[in-house]
Amino acid sequence: MNGNPKPDIRSLSRKELDEFLCSIGEKPFRTKQISDWLWKKGCRSYEGMTNLSLSLRNQLDGSFSFHIMRELHRQVSRDGTVKLGYLLYDGVVIESVLIPADERTTACISSQAGCALGCTFCATGLLGFNRNLTAAELVDQVWNLNEVSHQLHRIPLSNIVLMGMGEPLLNYPQVMRAIDLITATEGMGISPQRITLSTVGIPKMIRQLADDQVKAHLALSLHAATDAARDRIIPYNKQYPVPELVSALRYYHKKTGKRFTIEYLLLKGINDSPGDARSLLEFCRNFPVKINLIEYNPVEGVDFQRSGIKKMKEFRDILESHNLVVNIRQSRGKDINAACGQLAGRTRDEEREM
| Model pLDDT, residue 330 | 80
Measuring CA to CA, which residue among 30, 29, 25, 27 is closest to residue 9? 30
- Distance between CA 294 and CA 306 in Å, rounded? 9
- Distance between CA 2 and CA 10 in Å, rounded? 14
Is there a catalytic annotation at residue 95? yes
Cα-Cα-Cα-Cα torsion 132, 110, 245, 261, nearest 10 degrees, comes to 160
The string of pLDDT tens digits covering residues 145-203 is 999 999 999 999 999 999 999 999 999 999 999 999 999 988 899 999 999 999 999 99
% pLDDT > 70, the chain: 95
Measuring CA to CA, which residue among 127, 76, 107 is closest to residue 343? 127
| Model pLDDT, residue 126 | 85
Which class in CATH covers the domain with range 9-63?
Answer: mainly alpha
Contact 231, 237 (CB under 8 A): yes
Out of 26, 95, 263, 295, the active site residue is 95
| Model pLDDT, residue 346 | 55
* Confidence at 345, pLDDT banded by 50, 70, 90: low
CATH of domain 70-353: 3.20.20.70
Q: What is the pTM of this model?
A: 0.91
- Distance between CA 6 and CA 112 in Å, rounded? 23
As separate numbers, helices (DSSP H) first and strands (DSSP E) second, the chain gives: 12, 12
Residue 335 clears pLDDT 80, i.e. is over it: no
Is there a catalytic annotation at residue 320? no
Q: Per-domain residue ranges for the chain? A: 9-63, 70-353
Computed over every residue of the chain, the mean pLDDT equals 92
Contact 264, 234 (CB under 8 A): no
| Model pLDDT, residue 1 | 43
pLDDT (average), residues 198-227: 97
Out of 43, 108, 122, 340, the active site residue is 340
The string of pLDDT tens digits covering residues 89-117 is 999 999 999 999 989 999 999 999 999 99
% pLDDT > 90, the chain: 83
DSSP per-residue codes, 142-177: HHHHHHHHHHHHSS---EEEE-SSS-GGGGHHHHHH
Half-sphere exposure of 28 (CA within 13 A, CB side): 1
| Model pLDDT, residue 150 | 96
Task: Please indicate whether residue 335 or residue 42 has the higher confidence score (pLDDT).
Answer: 42
